[in-house]
């Protein structure tokens, strides 16, 4: 007879595979939905403040939603001209980078030719056929495909649908947030009112901690972006504002974002400068990033939100795989929220023993009262 564990493990594996497949297949719906929920959690202090000031719930939710949409629109308008300017310069940058790589190739070919000359001088028969297969590179210039107007028109309905999903989910989450928490606490706590209160307080506490964390990280990333832009301007790097905005955005994706940004910054330095100055931009950025990651963020965020780096990396890779760049932005808030809720909802043994003793005393008192009434 099969044991329960031997049956449960395959079922759990099948359920995990189906869950991952559903997340990847439903990316167009689930990604903006999760982003809206995370945005609602981050904006929860704002709606709590508006409710405390006496605004109706619908007006408070609408005000916070309008603020979020205006902020996103402003950010898009700030990024848009810089992004198109970067796309316009991309072919020229790519051409300069190809020229630099071609110089390296010429140097390597010269070294190879020197080796062949030495071989021929030592053994003339050993040099045959060495020069017949080279020169297949040709002079073809690889072009960088840029997005066309047709591509933008084709993507417009998808983007509009996802924006509508994001807006609707965010508004209704802000509007019904407390009722959602009440339902979740009643579902998890059953008929035990103390357990219901504990679950609801855990959800609210996790919400506040994630919100405070994200606001703090946003301020830190903004300061890093300003510092990077100023440093690039001082050393004469082209488009310093673009580099600053990119540093601000990619720092929301730990490890992977700064690594990719440092790679592009190194290429930009090779194209812009010569000699030692070519590595100066990426060197400055790495110093700033290490200072931010090792000293500034830990001192401002604190130890309460520290998570295993391996868990952060795996979460980033997973969400980037299923949802692309959007998954990279929601990975860390989702991970933090799940871990905080799981930690806060873990029952304290002393508290649970006290609750059990209180329930036993109430049952004994009720039994005694029933016995006295029977007499």
Could you report the per-residue pLDDT of 276-327, keeping only the tens digit for each?
Answer: 888 899 999 999 999 988 888 877 776 556 677 888 888 888 988 888 888 8
In this prediction, residue 231 carries a pLDDT of 94
- Specify the pLDDT at position 316: 86
Residue pLDDT, tens place only, 251-275: 988 888 899 899 888 888 887 888 7
Provide the token pair at 202: 């855990």
The answer, yes or no, to whether residue 24 has pLDDT greater than 80, is: yes
CA–CA dist 327, 318 (Å, integer): 8
Q: Is 320 helix (H, G, I), strand (E, B) or coil?
A: helix
pLDDT score for 142: 45
Give the other-Cβ count within 10 Å of 256's Cβ: 15
Give the Cβ contact number of residue 289 at 10 Å. Answer: 19
The token duo for 197 is 């209160």
The pLDDT, as a whole number, for residue 191 is: 79
**Structural domain boundaries of the chain?**
14-115+157-345
Q: Tell me the C-alpha distance between 324 and 344, whole Å.
A: 30
Q: Which of the given ranges, 132-136, 283-287, 362-366, has the highest pLDDT on average?
A: 283-287
Among 284-288, 334-338, 356-360, which is the least confidently predicted range? 356-360
Contacts of 202 (CB under 8 A, 6+ apart): 341, 344, 345
**Structural element, H or E, at residue 80:** helix 57-122
DSSP state of 156: H
Which three-class secondary structure state does DSSP give residue 370?
A: helix
Report residue 98: phi and psi, to 5°.
Answer: -65, -40
pTM over 0.85: no
- Give phi and psi for 30, each to the nearest 5: -75, -35
Instruction: Taking residues 352-368, report their average pLDDT.
Output: 59
Closest among 42, 96, 101 to 273, alpha carbons compared:
96
- Tokens standing for 118? 């030495």
Under the banding of pLDDT at 50, 70 and 90, the label for residue 235 is: very high
Average pLDDT estimate for 81-89 = 62
| Host H or E run for residue 198 | helix 193-235
Instruction: Sort 99 into a burial class: Cβ within 10 Å, 0-12 / 13-18 / 19+.
Output: exposed
């Amino acid at each position: 007879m099969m044991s329960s564990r031997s049956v449960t493990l395959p079922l759990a594996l099948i359920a995990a595979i189906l869950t991952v497949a559903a997340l990847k297949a439903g990316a167009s719906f689930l990604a903006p939905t999760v982003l809206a929920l995370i945005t609602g959690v981050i904006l929860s202090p704002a709606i709590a403040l508006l409710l405390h000031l006496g605004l109706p719930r619908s007006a408070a939710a609408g005000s916070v939603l309008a603020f979020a949409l205006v902020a996103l629109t402003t950010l898009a308008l700030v990024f848009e001209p810089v992004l198109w300017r970067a796309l316009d310069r991309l072919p020229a940058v790519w051409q300069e980078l190809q020229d630099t790589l071609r110089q390296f190739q010429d140097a390597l070919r010269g070294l190879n030719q020197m080796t062949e000359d030495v071989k021929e001088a030592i053994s003339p028969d050993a040099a045959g056929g060495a020069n017949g297969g080279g020169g297949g590179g040709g002079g073809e210039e690889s072009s960088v495909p840029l997005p066309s107007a047709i591509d933008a028109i084709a993507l417009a309905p998808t983007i509009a649908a996802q924006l509508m999903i994001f807006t609707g989910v965010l508004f209704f989450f802000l509007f019904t947030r407390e009722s959602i928490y009440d339902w979740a606490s009643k579902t998890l706590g059953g008929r035990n009112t103390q357990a219901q209160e504990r679950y609801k307080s855990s959800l609210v506490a996790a919400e506040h901690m994630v919100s405070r964390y994200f606001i703090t990280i946003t301020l830190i990333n903004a300061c890093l972006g300003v510092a990077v832009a100023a440093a690039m301007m001082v050393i004469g790097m082209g488009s310093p504002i673009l580099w600053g905005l990119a540093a601000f955005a990619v720092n929301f994706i730990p490890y992977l974002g700064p690594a990719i940004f440092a790679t592009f910054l190194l290429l930009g330095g090779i194209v812009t400068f010569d000699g030692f100055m070519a590595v100066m931009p990426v060197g400055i950025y790495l110093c700033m990033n290490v200072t931010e990651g090792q000293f500034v963020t830990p001192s401002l965020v604190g130890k309460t939100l520290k998570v295993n780096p391996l868990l952060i990396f795996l979460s980033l890779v997973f969400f980037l795989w299923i949802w692309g760049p959007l998954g990279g932005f929601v990975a860390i808030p989702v991970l933090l929220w799940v871990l905080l809720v799981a930690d806060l909802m873990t029952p304290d043994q002393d508290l649970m023993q006290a609750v059990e003793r209180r329930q036993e005393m109430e049952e004994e008192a009720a039994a005694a009262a029933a016995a006295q009434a029977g007499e």
